[in-house]
Amino acid sequence: MGTDRNFVRLSACCWVVTSVTTLCLIFVPRFLPPAPGIDSQAALSANALYMFRVWIALLHPFIALIAAGGVLAVRLRAATGAAICGFTFFALWAGAEGVQQSLILVALNWRWRPLFLAGDESTRAALRPSISGLDAISDSLFFFLLLAFVVANIMYCAATWAGGSALQRVIAVFFALAAALGVLSFATRFGGGVIPAGAMNAAYPLIQPFGRFLTGVWLWTSVPLADPGASDS
């Protein structure tokens, strides 16, 4: 049982780390120079702060998936179906986000943007469709990962709602709020302007970082529940 308990502790730490990576993803872009056009956007590939954010965005879903595994370990016995479904959809979200961010890192920032900056006008003209086309691919992956994210958080809300401490019930509420944020993000990105983007910009920093930190605290205090022989109180 020691291995399970150690894994839950690791997962708890990963939840706390994701609260930090989430803050980085939210606030680092605010310190980047404006990049309204394809030329200024290409120059970002040489910006250390921008590339730091790209790496954080790539690592974030992998850390978050380990974190999600801790919830599965703790709630598997008491809420088998919801816990397994929740982790499965978290895995789909992490996979889609990992692919999306890998394309942004390798194809866009390691290959196309440097070639664009160094090339002549004919080279730039040849690269413009690829660079612009990646936006559509990225949006398609974002569409899929948002759906997976919403379902994952709904399932984890169900898995943590009953049969635990008051803190666990609070965590269930934060999973529900995360699902609501996913719906809000979907509406702001694909809703045709029905909901202004500012709504997401205001809500996301208020909920996600603290919710993930608190989930790490709850998991750490729930280590005994990773033992299949422990009772769910």
Cβ neighbours of residue 55 closer than 8 Å, sequence gap 6 or more:
105
CB contact burial 73-102 (16+ within 10 A = b; e otherwise)? bbbbbbbeebbebbbbbbbbbbbbbbbbbe
Whether the CB-CB separation of 214 and 171 falls below 8 Å is answered with yes
Domain contains 166: yes
Domain contains 37: yes
Domain contains 233: no
Domain contains 207: yes
Model pLDDT, residue 232: 44
Model pLDDT, residue 69: 97
Model pLDDT, residue 100: 98
Domain contains 33: yes
Cβ neighbours of residue 19 closer than 8 Å, sequence gap 6 or more:
208, 209, 210, 212, 213, 216
165 phi, psi to nearest 5 deg: -75, 170
Q: Using 50 as the pLDDT threshold, list the residues of the chain that sit under it.
A: 1-2, 229-233
Domain contains 232: no
Model pLDDT, residue 225: 58
Report the domain count for the chain: 1
Domain contains 13: yes
Distances in Å between the Cα of 213 and the Cα atoms of 46, 60, 156, 171 are 32, 14, 16, 10
Instruction: Report percent pLDDT > 90 for the chain.
Output: 81
Domain of residue 111, residue span: 2-226
pTM of the model: 0.91
In whole angstroms, how large is the CA radius of gyration of the chain? 20
Sign of CA dihedral 15, 21, 27, 29: negative
Model pLDDT, residue 196: 75
Length of the chain: 233
